[in-house]
Structure 1
């Protein structure tokens, strides 16, 4: 059994601001507003959520190798 990490540091690609956030375990997070520059982040093409695109740790479903939000 794999231990799932629930904290991830999101880094804004626009201003470089980074903040640790707790990832949801029951839903994907498609939007995230940067606290610093107020830009709304969306997943990159091929990624299921903002944590998979901009986080230091992939989302819980990906960590568990069961596909995201399936």
Structure 2
């Protein structure tokens, strides 16, 4: 199981590696470069699943809750 993911801002392309929580969804993330507020895409549970190179831990675990992780 991976606990870090690199988020890529869709507006400016800035990449930032962040620690993912094991037991909570991250619904908002502010890009450190352009300050755009990222939100999950429709159907994704969190910003890591939408903009990260690794999905959040509950999705990685394949616990059957692909539409929501927490």
Task: Specify the TM-score bucket, using the shorter chain as the normaliser.
Answer: over 0.9
Task: Number of aligned residue pairs: give it.
Answer: 66
TM-score, L = length of structure 1? 0.92
Aligned to 1:61: 58
TM-score, L = length of structure 2? 0.92
Gaps spanning 5+ residues in structure 2: where? Answer: none
Q: Distance in 1 between matches of 2:59 and 2:23?
A: 12
Shift of 1:26: 1.3
Gaps spanning 5+ residues in structure 1: where? Answer: none
* Structure 1 consecutive aligned stretches of length 4 or more whose deviation exceeds 6 Å: none
Root-mean-square deviation (CA, aligned residues, Å) is: 0.5
